[in-house]
């Protein structure tokens, strides 16, 4: 702990600085959503090459979450968080000197480290708070998702004024500054301090992986595949959808996509508080139920049909208009934000000694959803010829998740009744 930092301020300071750091990291993680368009034009990339470039940081940022979570459990979030930000800053800065497609793909691997910071922050912050407040704390930390909107709002102005290279350099500088500030304003978590004082023994590496054998962990991962993975996928897919279905111009569609990201991030803190107050299980039921209704409505393609009435055929038309579509999507995003917090409320409750490993795996699967689902959406468009097929896919994921959750809960309740008092 730093000499000037009183012990009682450590939790609040750790939460505040971790949230700010995660916001910066998330802004860097989504940097290709803006500069990728200019790079595509400069290198004359195909749609496939462009998709791989944009998706590479999402993919790598997801895959490293498990390792970073375990390292955080073993070596402490203060150290791992700082190193992660510095490593991502180096890669982001070097990106500005990349000239070929191959060089940019390699740089994108390093940029993806910024997305892995989520697993570090979850493990680090959770150790400062009791179980009754962890939902609120982790919900506030998750507000850092708003970094995606920060990039969408600010990066275009920097790009227009000085070029995409300046965006990469400015975002890299922000990461370096954030890493330095984080290191000097935060303390090591209580577990790490206890280990250094000889009051606790570091657990074996094998024990860190032990909980990953539980089916329950993978069930939580499926939940997060939807509430976070689909959130990332929709934030990337919405502009394309609005242009293709409703004829919006790029600027308007982009602003709506950015506006979708903000409440879907900010209300995560509210979801954490609700999870502490009413229980994460209740929040997940509401999340899946409302999301199922929303995606079912959005799954219906524009339809013309004829009803044979008393006086002859009656032609009718059904279509979800742009205003209704935006309203329903924002309701969907709101409940997804509650669900994101509720999933991570479960983890320190069931696996208090393995938050890094379990949180890392769940975050990894959720992040992979942000990479896989846009590809699935495009494939379904080609296969079915229906724009609404993306919401059909999400409805199926929700239905499976809800059914599995309900079955697991009923099974646990039956086992609890059979246990002797």
User: For 195-241, how does the pLDDT look when each residue is reduced to its tens digit (9 = 90+)?
Assistant: 777 666 666 566 666 777 788 888 999 999 999 899 888 877 887 78
Q: pLDDT at position 3, please?
A: 38
Q: Spell 181-212 as b/e; 16+ CB within 10 A means b.
A: ebbebbbbbebbbebeeeeeeeeeeeebeebb
Phi first, then psi, for residue 202 (nearest 5°) are -65, 135
Nearest in space to 16 (alpha carbons), one of 149, 140, 131: 140
Q: What is the pLDDT of residue 1?
A: 39
Q: Decide if pLDDT at 7 tops 50.
A: no
Query: Looking at residue 98, what DSSP letter applies?
Result: -
Q: pLDDT digit string (tens) for 247-279? A: 887 677 777 877 777 776 778 778 878 888 888
If you classify domain 9-418 with CATH, what class do you get?
Answer: mainly alpha
Dump pLDDT digits (tens) for 393-405: 999 999 999 999 9
Using CA atoms, how far apart are residues 354 and 111, in angstroms rounded to an integer?
A: 26
69-78, 205-214, 301-310, 412-421: segment of lowest average pLDDT: 205-214
Domain range annotation of the chain: 9-418
Look at residue 44 and give its three-state secondary structure: coil
Measured between alpha carbons, how far is 151 from 418 in angstroms, rounded to an integer? Answer: 53
Helix axes 250-278, 231-246, angle to 10 degrees: 140
What does residue 316 show for φ and ψ, rounded to 5 degrees?
-135, 160
Q: Give dist(CA 389, CA 400) in Å, integer.
A: 17
Enumerate the H helices of 64-100 as residue ranges. 65-75, 77-95
pLDDT of residue 271: 82
Stretch 122-139: mean pLDDT: 83
Q: Average pLDDT in the 144-161 region?
A: 83
Amino acid 5: pLDDT: 44
pLDDT, residue 276, reads 83
On average, the pLDDT of the chain sits at 84
User: At 37, is the secondary structure helix, strand, or coil?
Assistant: helix
pLDDT value of position 407? 93
The percentage of the chain sitting over the pLDDT mark of 70, rounded to a whole number, equals: 93
Q: What pLDDT, on a 0 to 100 scale, did the predictor assign at position 4?
A: 37
pLDDT in the model for residue 12: 87
pLDDT in the model for residue 6: 43
By mean pLDDT, which of 31-40, 282-291, 320-329 is the weakest?
31-40
pTM here?
0.77
Measured distance CA(339)–CA(403) in Å, rounded: 16
pLDDT at 312: 76
pLDDT score of 293 more than 90: yes
Is pLDDT larger for residue 209 or for residue 336?
336
pLDDT at 28: 93
Could you read off the pLDDT of 44-78 as tens digits, one per residue? Answer: 877 668 777 877 888 888 888 888 888 888 888 89
- Please tell me whether residue 303 adopts helix, strand or coil conformation: strand
């Amino acid at each position: 702990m730093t000499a000037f930092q009183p012990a009682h301020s450590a939790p609040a300071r750790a939460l505040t600085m971790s949230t700010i750091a995660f916001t910066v990291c998330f802004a860097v993680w989504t940097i290709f959503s803006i500069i990728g368009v200019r790079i595509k034009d400069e290198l004359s990339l195909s749609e496939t090459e462009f998709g791989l470039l944009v998706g590479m940081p999402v993919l790598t940022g997801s895959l490293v979450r498990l390792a970073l979570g375990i390292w955080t459990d073993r070596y402490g979030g203060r150290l791992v968080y700082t190193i992660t930000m510095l490593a991502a800053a180096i890669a982001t800065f070097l990106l500005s000197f990349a000239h070929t497609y191959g060089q940019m793909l390699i740089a994108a691997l390093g940029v993806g480290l910024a997305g892995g910071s989520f697993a570090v922050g979850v493990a680090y912050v959770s150790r400062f708070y009791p179980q009754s407040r962890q939902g609120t704390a982790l919900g506030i930390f998750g507000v850092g998702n708003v970094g995606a909107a920060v990039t969408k709002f600010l990066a275009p102005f920097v790009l227009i004024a000085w070029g995409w290279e300046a965006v990469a350099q400015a975002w890299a500088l922000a990461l370096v500054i954030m890493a330095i500030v984080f290191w000097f304003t935060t303390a090591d978590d209580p577990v790490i301090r206890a280990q250094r004082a000889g009051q606790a023994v570091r657990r074996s590496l094998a024990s860190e992986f032990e909980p990953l054998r539980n089916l329950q962990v993978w069930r939580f991962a499926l939940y997060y595949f939807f509430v976070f993975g689909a959130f990332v996928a929709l934030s990337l897919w919405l502009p394309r959808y609005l242009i293709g279905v409703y004829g919006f111009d790029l600027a308007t569609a982009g602003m709506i996509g950015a506006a979708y990201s903000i409440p879907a991030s900010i209300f995560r803190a509210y979801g954490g508080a609700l999870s502490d107050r009413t229980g994460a299980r209740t929040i997940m039921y509401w999340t899946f139920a409302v999301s199922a209704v929303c995606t079912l409505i959005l799954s219906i393609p524009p339809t013309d049909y004829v009803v044979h009435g008393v006086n002859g055929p009656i032609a009718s038309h059904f279509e979800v208009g742009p205003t209704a579509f935006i309203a329903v999507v924002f309701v969907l995003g709101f409940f997804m934000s509650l669900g994101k917090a509720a999933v991570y409320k479960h983890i320190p409750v069931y696996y208090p000694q393995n938050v890094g490993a379990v949180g890392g795996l769940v975050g990894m699967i959720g992040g992979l959803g942000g990479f896989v689902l846009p590809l699935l959406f495009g494939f379904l468009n080609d296969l079915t010829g229906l724009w609404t097929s993306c919401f059909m896919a999400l409805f199926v994921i929700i239905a499976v998740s809800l059914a599995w959750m309900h079955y697991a809960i009923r099974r646990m309740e039956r086992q609890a009744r059979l246990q002797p008092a």
